Structure 1
Amino acid sequence: MKIGIPKEIKNNENRVGMTPAGVFELTKRNHTVYVQATAGEGSGFFDKDYKEVGATILPTINDVYDQSEMIVKVKEPIAEEYPLIKENQVVFTYFHFASSEPLTKAMIASKAICIAYETVEDEEGTLPLLTPMSEVAGRMSVQQGAKYLEKPIKGRGILLGGVPGVKPGKVLVLGAGVVGVQAAKMAAGLGAHVTIMDINMKRLRYVNDVLPNHVVTDFSSEYSIRKHIKDHDLIIGGVLLKGGKAPKLITRDMLKEMRPGTVIVDVAVDQGGCFETTRATTHEDPTYIIDDVVHYCVANMPGAVPYTSTIALTNVTLSYILKLADLGWEKACEKDKSLAKGLNIVKGKIVYEELEGIFD
């Protein structure tokens, strides 16, 4: 198969769809891999690295799309890429269709085969291709939140870990999934007081078992959220509905109940966000303020640490990419039910149940 790896063109997206190590696994099986020139530089992988493992370097993104049967990316195609996608071409990437009607309609019109990383689901019900980026984003949410709590950037002026004689900051984490657990782990490591909320008691029991005693759990409800937001300094939204839009757990009126300089980080922004006031931002301009509350809603947080993120992503996507390349998408999805759940749009039709009728 001919596999193309284009350069990501979303704002400040420095990740790349595959490491040279991943490319080597494809070329040694006699697949052809086209890599756009400089595609890996942001992640610390250079054209010579790809050439050494048998890739062909092409000068433009148009060349990569034109010559490839399957495109392997990181982020969803943006408007400039829509016309490049061909009928029957396999596109394997994060799509998050539920948060973008234009993207969904463009991919339907393209009649391509759209396989979304975020809906590939294993037998245990986990999302193996979303997990590593959720781990990165969960850890980064605390790192970024701690920074934006600083007074020069309009935060409350709080050091999360405190110092002797001064109590630590308080972090509220909404969702006890991968993002939430990683965020709680990082915040606890800094010495902050952490409250993590969920409606799944199994997850709360897990958190209670594996995290230190200064991470406390609470069953999530609007009442309890309204209570906690009044005295927490950093609020992290990490909820997920598989393939669907995130629920709005914090509404506009709740901002007035928060203290000025509170920071909220919405890790669910790719799926529409779990705060009513969320709008996607970029690493170039990551924050905005509403009612004296600092919002950090960068839609590609792991793109800021591309070396770590690209390796972590290739670690989990490669086995599926090899199946798609070796067998073709139809046989691969027939043999691997986890991969089949990644099928979202096929030849102009929505085939993922959670998306059906979402934009009617």
Structure 2
Amino acid sequence: MTIGVPKEIKTNESRVALTPGGVFELVNYGHQVYIQETAGEGSGFSDEDYREAGAIMLPSIEAVYAMAEMIVKVKEPVPQEYPLIKRNQVVFTYFHFASSESLTRAMIASKAVCIAYETVRDEDGSLPLLTPMSEVAGRMAIQQGAKYLEKPIKGRGVLLGGVPGVPPGRVLILGAGIVGVQAAKMAAGLGAHVTVLDINMKRLRYINDMMPPHVVTEFSSVYNIKRHIKNHDLIIGAVLIPGAKAPRLITRAMLKDMRPGTVLVDVAVDQGGCFETTRPTTHEDPTYIINDIVHYCVANMPGAVPYTSTLALTNVTLPYVLKLANLGWETACKEYPDLGRGLNIVKGKVVVDEITNAFESGLV
């Protein structure tokens, strides 16, 4: 099979979908791999690294799409890529279709085979290709939130860990999944007081057992959310429903109950966001303020640490890329049901109900 890796062109996205080591594995199996020139530089991999691994370097994104039977990416195609995607071409990447009707319609029109990292799902319900980026994003949420609590950038002026004689900052985490657990670990490590809300008691018990005493858990309800937003400094939106839009847990009206300078970090922005006031931002312009509340809603948070993120992501994606390349997408998705669950749009047909249900206008 011919596999193409274009350079990511989303704003401030420096990750790359294959490392030189991944290229070597694919070439060793007899596949041809085309890499766009400079695609790996942001993650610390030179064109020469790829050539030595057996890749063929191409000068443009158009050339990569034209040559490849399968495109492997990190982020969803952006509008300038839409016309480059060919009928029957396999595109394997993060899509998050439920948050973008325009992307969904473009991929339907392309008649490509769209396999989404975020819906590849094991029998136990775990999401192996989303997990490493959720781990990165959860840890970054605290790192970024702590920074934007600083007064010069309109935060409350709170040091999360506090100092002797001064109480620590308070962090509210909505969701006890991978993102929530990693955020809680980081916040606890800084010495913050942490409250984690979820409706899954098994997850709350897990956190309660593994975290130090200054991390507390409560059942999530509108009442509890409204009560806690009044006295927490940093609020993390970390709720995910695989393939579907994230639930809106904090409304615009609730902002008035927060203290000025409170920071909201919405890790679920790729799936539409946990907050009614969420809109996607970029690393270049990461925040905006509504009613004196700082919103950080960067849609590709792990892209800010591309070396770490690329290695973490390709550790888990490469085995699936090899299955698709070795067997072809149809056989691979039949033999490996976890991979089959990644099929979102197949040759113009949406095959995931959550996508169809996400848009009020319908997709017909």
Fold match (TM-score > 0.5): yes
Taking the TM superposition and a 5 Å limit, the aligned residue runs for 1:130-145 are 130-145=130-145
Q: How much does 1:211 deviate? A: 1.0
Q: Give the equivalent residue in structure 2 for 1:14.
A: 14
Matched, 1:243 2:214: no
Matched, 1:189 2:189: yes
Q: Which runs of 5+ in 2 are unaligned?
A: none
Structure 2: distance between partners of 1:168 and 1:82: 48
Q: How much does 1:239 deviate? A: 0.1
Q: Give the equivalent residue in structure 2 for 1:2.
A: 2
Taking the TM superposition and a 5 Å limit, the aligned residue runs for 1:2-151 are 2-151=2-151
Q: Give the equivalent residue in structure 2 for 1:154.
A: 154
Structure 1: distance between partners of 2:332 and 2:352: 17
Structure 2: distance between partners of 1:353 and 1:327: 27
Structure 2: distance between partners of 1:73 and 1:3: 11
Aligned-pair identity (%): 76
Q: Give the equivalent residue in structure 2 for 1:281.
A: 281
Structure 2: distance between partners of 1:231 and 1:49: 51
The amino acid that maps onto 1:84 is L
Q: Give the equivalent residue in structure 2 for 1:208.
A: 208
Q: Give the equivalent residue in structure 1 for 2:221.
A: 221
Q: Give the equivalent residue in structure 2 for 1:345.
A: 345
Q: Give the equivalent residue in structure 1 for 2:257.
A: 257
Structure 2: distance between partners of 1:358 and 1:245: 7
Q: What does the per-residue CA deviation read over 1:101-143, in whole Å, with 9 as the maximum and x for residues that have no partner? A: 0000000000000000000000110000000000000000000
Structure 2: distance between partners of 1:123 and 1:345: 21
The amino acid that maps onto 2:249 is L
Three-state SS of the structure 2 residue aligned to 1:279 is: coil
The amino acid that maps onto 2:316 is V
The amino acid that maps onto 1:156 is R
Structure 2: distance between partners of 1:284 and 1:358: 29
8 Å contact kept, 2:245–2:358: no
Q: Quick check: 278-287 or 21-30, which moved more?
A: 21-30
Q: Give the equivalent residue in structure 1 for 2:272.
A: 272
The amino acid that maps onto 1:157 is G
Give the root-mean-square deviation of aligned CA atoms. 0.5
Structure 2: distance between partners of 1:100 and 1:43: 27
Structure 2: distance between partners of 1:164 and 1:109: 60
Structure 1: distance between partners of 2:233 and 2:25: 46
Three-state SS of the structure 2 residue aligned to 1:235 is: strand
Three-state SS of the structure 2 residue aligned to 1:324 is: helix
The amino acid that maps onto 1:29 is Y
Q: Give the equivalent residue in structure 1 for 2:298.
A: 298
Q: How much does 1:358 deviate? A: 3.2
8 Å contact kept, 2:195–2:215: yes
Q: What does the per-residue CA deviation read over 1:46-99, in whole Å, with 9 as the maximum and x for residues that have no partner? A: 100100100000000000000000000000000000000000000000000000
Q: How much does 1:357 deviate? A: 4.2
Structure 1: distance between partners of 2:354 and 2:103: 16
Q: Quick check: 349-358 or 39-48, which moved more?
A: 349-358
Structure 2: distance between partners of 1:161 and 1:357: 43
Structure 2: distance between partners of 1:251 and 1:283: 24
Structure 2: distance between partners of 1:85 and 1:138: 32
Q: What does the per-residue CA deviation read over 1:196-219, in whole Å, with 9 as the maximum and x for residues that have no partner? A: 000000000000011111100010
Q: What does the per-residue CA deviation read over 1:239-259, in whole Å, with 9 as the maximum and x for residues that have no partner? A: 001100000000001100000
8 Å contact kept, 2:5–2:34: yes
Three-state SS of the structure 2 residue aligned to 1:259 is: coil
Structure 1: distance between partners of 2:289 and 2:353: 36
Q: What does the per-residue CA deviation read over 1:269-321, in whole Å, with 9 as the maximum and x for residues that have no partner? A: 00000000000000000000000000000000000000000000000001100
Q: How much does 1:353 deviate? A: 2.4
8 Å contact kept, 2:34–2:58: yes
Structure 2: distance between partners of 1:342 and 1:81: 21
Structure 2: distance between partners of 1:231 and 1:293: 13
Three-state SS of the structure 1 residue aligned to 2:196 is: strand
Structure 2: distance between partners of 1:85 and 1:212: 49
Three-state SS of the structure 2 residue aligned to 1:256 is: helix
Kindly report structure 1 stretches of 4+ aligned residues shifted beyond 6 Å.
none
Q: How many residue pairs were aligned?
A: 360
TM-score for both structures, normalised by structure 2: 0.98
